[in-house]
Amino acid sequence: MEIAAVIATRFEPPELPPLLELLRADHVIPVIVKDVGIHPPDWSLYRLWNNGVREAIERGAEYICVMNDDVVMVSGALEWMANVLRYNQNIGVVYPNIRRRTTEGLGPIHLTYTEGT
């Protein structure tokens, strides 16, 4: 199972190096998309993420996480979420419980269905 993490970054915050270290230790393919230069009026962060997703697919990723560059997470979280997708064919997108503290670990799989944004 190949997992990639697409991360757009402009200012490379201090959280980025430890995040990359964790991703590499978890055998996740980091795809860094640097936000550089002056932006045209139609510029969008989503365009950067889309470029990163294309690169992740080209690099063989079966599962892709699009994330910010200042994320702090638990080791194994992306594999855990990929497994939710793998074993629940009626689910197309997952995201972590942002209220759960990293000190609590991953915990049991608990799904809360969301509709809309």
pLDDT in tens, 47-93: 999 999 999 999 999 999 999 999 999 999 999 999 999 999 888 89
First CA to last CA across the chain, in angstroms?
28
Angle at 75 (CA atoms; ends 104, 47), nearest 5 degrees: 110
- The whole-number average pLDDT for the span 79-108 is 87
40/8: higher pLDDT: 8
Q: What DSSP string runs through 57-105?
A: HHTT-SEEEEE-TT----TTHHHHHHHHHHH-TT-------TTS-GGG-
Q: Which of 62, 63, 72, 75 is nearest to 98 (CA)?
A: 72
Read off the pLDDT band of 97 (50, 70, 90): confident
Return d(Cα 65, Cα 30) in angstroms, integer: 10
- What pLDDT is recorded for position 117? 66
Percent over 90 (pLDDT), the chain = 65
88/6: higher pLDDT: 6
Domain ranges of the chain: 3-104
When the pLDDT of each residue in the chain is averaged and rounded to a whole number, the result is: 91
